[in-house]
Amino acid sequence: MENLNKALRDVGEDIVSEIKRLGITRDEFKASGRLEKSISYEVKGNIVEVSALEYIGAISEGISKKKFPNVNRIREWAKDKGLQPRGAKGRLLSRTDANMKSMAFVIARSMADKGISKRFGYQGSGFLEEIKKDVVTNVTDMIAEAYKLDIIVKLKEI
């Protein structure tokens, strides 16, 4: 099953690189780099498990309205992005912890009311679904070819 194992590793590498290419690079969802670093795969038997930080789903699918996002994570994101808090009249405020928390709360409230990203119509970018559609045909062909080669090797051993 050497060919199958190699094909599964190739599939994992392809999926991870596509997620990084489409979701992080093309759609420009990068702040601290933690999400990109978290994307990985593991082959378990005949299964390729791809994992990433939980909020990758929110970026791809968006968040359901009325679901209040985590304010502390938004505050971390805002710090990583270098966002500057503003007062009620639009004046810049200092980046104190209290001001950053207030700004994060306002962002979270807006996300709960409207959705996640204006440039995607306040919905997710849909990159995970796009990857699923693109990868299915390619993966099927790769796995079928690997099985075929492994069967030929086993038949030669008989």
pLDDT in tens, 87-128: 888 899 999 999 999 999 998 888 888 777 666 665 777 888
In terms of phi and psi (left: phi > 0; alpha: psi -120 to 50; beta: otherwise), the region of 33 is: left
Q: Which two tokens stand for residue 37?
A: 């670093």
Q: Backbone phi, then psi, for 52, in 5-degree steps?
A: -160, 170
10-residue block means of pLDDT along the chain (158 residues)?
A: 90 91 77 87 93 85 74 89 89 93 91 72 77 82 87 85
| Distance from chain centroid for Cα 129 | 11
Angle made by CA atoms 95, 75, 124, in degrees to the nearest 5: 135
Joined tokens for residue 112: 């709960």
> Dihedral through CA 41, CA 42, CA 45, CA 48, nearest 10?
-10
Q: Which CA distances in Å does 147 have to 105, 133, 137, 143?
A: 52, 22, 16, 6
